[in-house]
Each structure stands twice: as structure tokens, then as C-alpha cells.
Chains A and B, each alone.
Chain A
Amino acid sequence: MPVDRPEGAALPAGKGARIDLSGMTKRYGGAAAVDDVTLTVEPGEFMTFLGPSGSGKTTTLNMIAGFTDITSGTLRIDDRPVGDVPAHKRDIGVVFQHYALFPHMTVAQNVAFPLRQRKVPRAERDRLVAAALETVQLPGHASRYPRELSGGQQQRVALARAIVFSPRVLLMDEPLGALDRKLREFLQLEIKRIHREVGSTFVFVTHDQEEALILSDRVAVFNNARIEQVGTARDLYERPATLFVARFLGESTILRGTATPDGSRARLDLDGLAVQASGGVRSGPAALVVRPERLRLEPDRPDAAGTGGNAVPVTVVEEIYLGSARKLEVLLPGGGRGLVREQAGTASDLRVGDRARLCWHPDDCVLLPDDPTTERIFT
């Protein structure tokens, strides 16, 4: 039987806790759902776990929450090891994808639930519940039942319930997955705002890379039970560390070949062609990754002088008109597809079917170790 919290042990002091994951592993039988994950979430940070289904992000979250036992590794919150602490004693707020509101309690009773467990006296309880509902902008709904609320409102009640006891850590497991797009966008901003107001450490799980980039201070990209890269949105987008990260976040053009060192840069040989990249691996099978907005298409004139950058002959196969910009899909030598983004003001006048030269600067691309397994995921 769990020991009740002693009287006087008040609510946690609020603000954000530091979370240290060290070598965290979860095995089911022989297979690892989470494999040696090491990560530090700074106090008050908004961290997102991003990755496809089955990548281990939700299992890691569950281990932090205490819903799943840790097979090996350590978990520290505010420098205290909590691996052996049962979930109901961890003082962590959790928001679930399907709200998990108690159907037999009113909104106010739902939000007051964690306070009742902590034996907060009635008057204080009512005050905190009202404040929490205010924070999520649902002040008038206290005596309604969950079934009378819309999905977005239910999720906001769930949020209120999770923050009312001022936890230093708030975990969210794909909370917006069940909502339609407009609502999702609205609530994303709400969550960002609440994070600023409340100041706790937020850990957010999603498979939607746009969501991750909008909300987070930093993102940890999960794949196959491991973290491939942790960094700010900019880090991940401009300097992806693996081919998986490059392909999972944003769009890219990929050229495959063999890399060899070339002075301060690396050279990639593609069946007779050679291009250069400033950053990344310097030898072995490699993939060169360029973002659409860093590519330029130039007409295929034999006399056109190179600008000192890379150039590859391509054929335009598709045009996608976006109003303020357009995207052109091109056929690369070797058969792959590339994607170029042109802003409306500076677009070329190339059409589908035209031959062109795909140009970019070596500093605007990165050379990554080739990873054939990504073919399975992204095609």
C-alpha cells in the first residue's frame, strides 16, 4: 500500500526540473524498444521527442512518467534518482492523447483530483482549480461533465488538471493527435503560451515534425529505439547528423556516391560527376543533402560559367505552384528526384521538360554517411 504524503509536504515548488536520462534501455523479451538513450533536459526547457511510430519516443516518455519499468540505465529528476519511485509519487504531470478525463466527475472535480490526493485544503483547492482553468481559458466550465465538451475543450481540461499542482515536469504524449488541423494549430500556440506562463520543463512527444519545430526549444529525433540527434530546430534542419534526420525533417535533395577528402572539403563522386561539400563525412559511401531553398536552377547553356559552386545536369519533371513560391521537381543523374524551391520574385522561367543545371554552394550542403534503411521508411 503506498504511503500517503505527510501533511505539510506541500505542492512542489513549481518552475522546471532538470531531467537526466543516462543509458536508459527498455527490453521486451530480446527486443529493445528503447536502446541506450542518454539525454539531459534543461530546467524549464520545452523538449520534443520526435520520430515515427515504434521509434521508442513514447516508451521513453512512459519510463520518465513511471508507467513502464526501466530495464537498465538511470533516470534522475533534479539530480534525484527516481527509477524506483512509483508513478503516483513522482509529481509529474501527464497529458494523454485521448484526454483520459474521469467521466463520472465534473471538470472542476477532474482538475481538483491531484490536489485531493495531496490533501490540499478545500479553499486552497478551489483557488488553484479556478486559476488552472483560467490559464487554459476555460473559466466557466467548472460544473460541466467531460462528455458535454468538445475535443479541444477536453484536452484543455486535461492540461489544467496536469498543471494545477505545479509539477516541475509536464509530459505530453501526442496530445493533439486526435484533433483536426485548425484546432491543433490553435492549441499548439496555447501550449507554447502556457509553457511560458508556467515555466515547468515540458517534454512533448509527436510524430509531426512541423509541430516539433513550432513548439520546441530543442528536439530529440528518435529512430529505431535510439536518439539520432538532439538540437534546436535550426541545428536539425541545417546540420542534420544522419540521413534519417535529414529526411524526417523538412524536404531535401539527396545525391549518393563515394566521398573522398579534397583539401578542406570533401568530394563526392557520382558516376563520373564530382561535387564538393564543406561539412560532414570525408570518406566512404555517402549521401549529400541539400535543402530546396538552397538550390538554384540555371538554364542549360554550354557557355554558362560556373559560379564556383556545384552543378549537376537535371531535367525538370514537375512544377508545384504555391502562390508565393513554386517547387520544381527535377530528375537527377542516376535516376533520383530532387526538389528546388523558388520564391516568386526570383524564380527562373524554366518549364516542365526543360533541361537545366542544378547549382548550389558547397557550404550549403552536408555530406552524411549513407543509410540504405531510410529507403524503407521514406519511400
Chain B
Amino acid sequence: MSARLARAALWITGALVAAWLVAPTLVVIPLGFTDKVSLTFPPTGWSTRWYANFFGDPAWTAALANSVLVGVLVAVVATTLGTAAAFGLSRWTNGRGAAAASVLLLAPMIVPGIILAIGIYAVFLKLGLAGTLAGFVAAHTVLALPFVVVSVTASLRTFDVRLETAAASLGAGRWATFRQVTLPLITPGVVSGALFAFVTSFDEVVVSLFIQSPTLVTLPVQMYSSVTRETDPTLAAAATMILVLTTVLVGGGLTLAARRNRAR
């Protein structure tokens, strides 16, 4: 087989896989504009009534509002806790302690979500936290923390500790040094961490399914129930909006992370 043929075959395979990774998801976009009541694809006519339906239905709008609210709160809490933890980890001189702490900080990424969901559900029921805003924020924060920690830690890796020593010699205490010297230079890591935290919370399904209540439903949970019950293209409209929002946010987060690396 000539090299050129092999190379072409490789590219075709790659392109097909790439298409397979991206294209199927895009199906929801035109589907949100179909004029039929069913989810047959491709649509034969166009209408925006499903978007109107979405924004007119209190179940959907409440779910959207809840997801955004929880997401923002989680982003704030997880970023604050996670940035502090990442910073503390990088400056802690106890190697074994730091290793143990990082295992705990990253564990939520490894433990299967269903196990965590069951556990949290049981505990929340006992404490009356199921279906509460605080409960949702707590549960999602735990899932988002590892991403913030990894992102901020990566930024801290490229930060020169000697700048902190210099700041101290010039009269800045620890907090002043962090605020004026360290934080401005790790901002890309913090901000991309915050974006990933928001997206993690915004998209969370399994735990939310357990701890939901009739008064507090998040958007993915609402979608999940909708899919299992009725299937009308309002779902596609909701899916499109989620798709656009998370793509923009994650695209932004990844760009920031890349720019941090390029700027070296």
C-alpha cells in the first residue's frame, strides 16, 4: 500500500470519527425549528413555536432559572474553595499530607456518579436538604471542585514563586501578595475553573434526579422527565439552548487555558 493511499485512508477515518463526534449532536438544532409535533428528522417545515412553548411553560422556565441560579452559586462557591485549596496545596510543605489531600480533592471525578447520588440522597433525606437550594449547591460543588482545583493548579505551575518572595521583601503581607501579585497572574486558571464549575453543575443529571423536588427541578432533570414522558420538539429547543450555552462557555474556558500556555 503506497504511503499516499495509507495517508488518505487515515485522514478519511479521522474525518469520519470527527464527524461522528460532533455531527449527531447538531441534529437538535434544526429539530428545534420543526413545524411538526413529532421528532422526525429532518424537519420539513419551520416554526419557532417550540421556543415560544419553552419560554411560555413555567415548568421549563423555572427549570432553566434554577439551573442558572444553582450553576452561578456553584461557580462562586467551588471557585473560592477550589482556588484556596489549590493554592494551599501548592505551598504546603508536607508532601504526604498534600498527596492525601489531593486524592480526596480529585476523588469525585473517579467515583461513579450513581454511588455518590445514592449516598447524598440518603444523607440529604435525613437532614431535610433534599429539594433545597443549599442541598443542590452543596452536591454540585462537590462534583465541580476537582475541575477548579486542576485548572488553578495548572495555572499555579507556571507561576514563579520568587515573585511572592520579592513582594514580601517589598512589604506585602501574605494576603496583599496574593491579591496584588499571585491572583492577577493565575486569573486564566481561576476563570476557566469557574466556567467548568458552572458547566458541570448546569449539566448534572444523576445526583439531581435523586435530590429533586416538585419545587426545585433543574433543566437536565426536566429534560430527562420530558424524554421519558412526552416527546415534542420543545425538548429540541431546550437542548439547542443548552448546547449553545455550554459550547460557548467551555470554548471560552479552553481558549483561556490555551492562551495562558501560549503566553509563556
Residue numbers of A with Cβ under 8 A of B are 1-2, 4-5, 65-67, 86-89, 91-94, 96, 98, 100, 102-104, 113-114, 116-118, 161-162, 165
Q: Which of these, A113, A162, A165, contacts B167 with CB under 8 Å?
A: A113
A96 with B162, Cβ < 8 A, contacts A2-B173, A88-B173, A117-B176 known:
yes
Within 8 A of A (CB), among B55-92: none
Interfacial chain B residues near A5, Cβ < 8 Å: 171
Interfacial chain A residues near B171, Cβ < 8 Å: 5, 88-89, 91, 114, 117-118, 165
Q: Which of these, A2, A91, A104, A118, contacts B185 with CB under 8 Å?
A: A104
Q: How far apart are the CA atoms of A114 and B177 in the complex, in Å?
A: 11
A94 with B169, Cβ < 8 A, contacts A100-B163, A117-B176 known:
yes
Q: How many A-B pairs with Cβ below 8 Å?
A: 67
Q: Which of these, A98, A104, A114, contacts B170 with CB under 8 Å?
A: A114
Q: Which 7 A-B pairs have the closest CB atoms?
A: A2-B173, A117-B171, A100-B166, A94-B169, A114-B170, A87-B168, A88-B168
Question: B165 to A67, Cβ gap below 8 A?
Answer: yes
CB of B175 closer than 8 Å to a CB of A? yes
Q: What 0/1 readout, one digit per residue, does chain B (160-203) give for beta carbons within 8 Å of chain A?
A: 10110111111111111100110011000000000000000000
Subset of 29 A-B contacts with CB under 8 Å: A2-B173, A2-B175, A5-B171, A65-B169, A67-B165, A86-B168, A88-B167, A88-B170, A88-B171, A88-B172, A88-B173, A88-B177, A91-B171, A93-B169, A94-B169, A96-B162, A100-B160, A102-B181, A104-B185, A113-B167, A113-B172, A113-B180, A114-B170, A114-B171, A116-B180, A117-B171, A162-B170, A165-B170, A165-B171
Interfacial chain A residues near B167, Cβ < 8 Å: 88, 102, 113
Q: How far apart are the CA atoms of A309 and B179 in the complex, in Å?
A: 70
Interfacial chain B residues near A87, Cβ < 8 Å: 165, 168-169
Q: How far is the CB of A165 from chain B (nearest CB, A)?
A: 7
Closest A-chain residue to B169, C-beta based? A94
Main secondary structure of the interface of B (DSSP, over half): helix
Q: Which of these, A2, A103, A117, A118, contacts B174 with CB under 8 Å?
A: A2
Question: B172 to A117, Cβ gap below 8 A?
Answer: yes
A102 with B163, Cβ < 8 A, contacts A67-B168, A92-B169, A117-B170 known:
yes
Q: How far apart are the CA atoms of A94 and B164 in the complex, in Å?
A: 12
Question: A104 to B184, Cβ gap below 8 A?
Answer: yes
Q: How far apart are the CA atoms of A1 and B173 in the complex, in Å?
A: 8
Q: How far apart are the CA atoms of A222 and B260 in the complex, in Å?
A: 42
Q: How far apart are the CA atoms of A78 and B170 in the complex, in Å?
A: 19
Question: B162 to A100, Cβ gap below 8 A?
Answer: yes
Interfacial chain B residues near A94, Cβ < 8 Å: 165-166, 169
Q: How far apart are the CA atoms of A162 and B171 in the complex, in Å?
A: 11
Question: B169 to A88, Cβ gap below 8 A?
Answer: yes
Interfacial chain B residues near A117, Cβ < 8 Å: 170-172, 176
Interfacial chain B residues near A100, Cβ < 8 Å: 160, 162-163, 165-166
Q: How far is the CB of B91 from chain A (nearest CB, A)?
A: 14
Interfacial chain A residues near B162, Cβ < 8 Å: 96, 98, 100
* Known A67-B165, A87-B169, A94-B165; 4 more pairs at CB < 8 Å: A2-B174, A92-B169, A100-B163, A104-B184
A103 with B185, Cβ < 8 A, contacts A67-B165, A98-B162 known:
yes
Interfacial chain A residues near B181, Cβ < 8 Å: 102
Q: How far is the CB of A36 from chain B (nearest CB, A)?
A: 26
The winner among B160, B169, B173 for most chain A CB atoms within 10 A is B169
Q: How far is the CB of B163 from chain A (nearest CB, A)?
A: 6
Interfacial chain A residues near B184, Cβ < 8 Å: 104
Interfacial chain B residues near A102, Cβ < 8 Å: 163, 166-167, 181
Interfacial chain B residues near A66, Cβ < 8 Å: 168
Interfacial chain A residues near B177, Cβ < 8 Å: 88
Q: What 0/1 readout, one digit per residue, does chain B (133-173) give for beta carbons within 8 Å of chain A?
A: 00000000000000000000000000010110111111111
Q: How far is the CB of B180 from chain A (nearest CB, A)?
A: 8
The winner among B160, B171, B172, B174 for most chain A CB atoms within 10 A is B171
Interfacial chain A residues near B173, Cβ < 8 Å: 1-2, 4, 86, 88
Q: How far is the CB of A149 from chain B (nearest CB, A)?
A: 16
Closest A-chain residue to B170, C-beta based? A114
Q: How far is the CB of A205 from chain B (nearest CB, A)?
A: 14
